[in-house]
Amino acid sequence: MQKRELGKSNLEVSAIGLGCMGMSFGYGPAADKKEMMSLIRSAVERGVTFFDTAEVYGPFTNEELVGEALAPLRDQVAIATKFGFKPDPNGGPRWSGLDSRPEHIKEVAEASLKRLKTDVIDLFYQHRVDPNVPIEDTAGAVKDLIQQGKVKHFGLSEAGAETIRRAHKVQSVAALQSEYSLWWREPEADVIPTLEELGIGFVPFSPLGKGFLTGKISEDTQFDKTDFRNIVPRFTAENRKTNQALVDLIGKFAQQKKATPAQIALAWLLAQKPWIVPIPGTTKLHRLEENIGAAAVELTREDLRQLETAASKISVQGARYPEELQKLVGR
């Protein structure tokens, strides 16, 4: 698979990474650990070198899975993980607020290194901006970890343009991770121009719209009771019915290109900027192979123009997060 550099960071990774969250958390019950270890190793065999996890996925179990799966292949891959949430003091599956105090960041780094079975974290993201801690202090804490050799690169997740600028002055930001896809294009307004100006890479999560852009979800799809999509306004049955128009459009392009809708959605992202690296997640080998195949799908300028024109006429319905989660975004 082709490689891409995340901005001017010297962090070179496969053009498509693997988001590992859904293996343990978020989209229904956790998958079988042995099967997921096998899937992660299969991804490496197929050229994937960029793996995404976080302490709160599980919590903790996803980092343990990724660490164990990649331990024998550690020198071939880059592992990204995240800090910034307070784990539930009762040991539950949710967090209890944000915590990016420098001392907490350093504690998280030590714990993550153990779970990931490694002596260095390739990319350490702040998971959400903490309004109670100046971003300069957060960036400074990660700078210390980089100087100590425990972290290689600093990242932000779901941060706004002003925060990115302030953080970057203290410690260069290698990558921003935020949601971006054909059905969530808000980053195009302020964030992507800021990243381009500063030489920062962009790692879109949910590049397939939490599965919706694959064409495999309809208004009748029933999600498991533990599936996060049950509380997402964009995933109400009514909104799914309306939003099907975008999936149908992508499906038409997929037929023309002899590709799948998922491959068109990922190829569209790859065509936006050479420093964009999407991280679709999956628990299935055939989906992994399908997603990786997107790197070989060529969209011409004319294809992109046609897709853009047609997509601009479709108004996607429903917020992408419930209100309390949306408040954590874009600060």
Q: What pLDDT digit, counting tens, does each position of 232-281 carry? A: 999 999 999 999 999 999 999 999 999 999 999 999 999 999 999 999 99
Q: Is residue 324 included in any domain, yes or no?
A: no
Predicted local distance difference test score (pLDDT) of residue 94: 67
The verdict on residue 29 lying in a domain is yes
Give the pLDDT score at 303. Answer: 96
pLDDT in tens, 180-208: 999 999 999 999 999 999 999 999 999 99
For residue 177, being part of any structural domain is answered with yes
Range of the domain at 144: 3-210+272-297
Residue 283 lies in a domain: yes
The one-letter code for the residue type at 122 is D
CA angle 197, 125, 67 (to 5 degrees): 135
Cα–Cα distance for residue pair 308/268, rounded to 1 Å: 10
Which residue out of 27, 57, 125, 180 is catalytically annotated? 57
Is position 281 within any domain? yes
For residue 292, being part of any structural domain is answered with: yes
pLDDT at 88: 73
* CB 301 within 8 Å of CB 54: no
CATH of the domain at 178: 3.20.20.100
Nearest to 206 by CA among 226, 190, 236, 186: 186
**Is position 327 within any domain?**
no
125 is catalytic: no
Ranges of the chain whose pLDDT falls below 70 = 91-94
Residue 290, CA distances (Å) to 45, 66, 112, 117 in order: 15, 21, 30, 29
Q: Which two tokens stand for residue 292?
A: 């990786």
Retrieve residue 130's tokens. 């903490």
Cα separation, 82 vs 157, whole angstroms: 9
Answer yes or no: is 216 within a domain. Answer: no
Residue 314: alpha-carbon gap to chain centroid: 25
Cβ–Cβ under 8 Å, residues 64 and 115: yes
Domain count, the chain: 1
| Residue 200 CB neighbour total at 10 angstroms | 25
What's the pLDDT at 95? 73
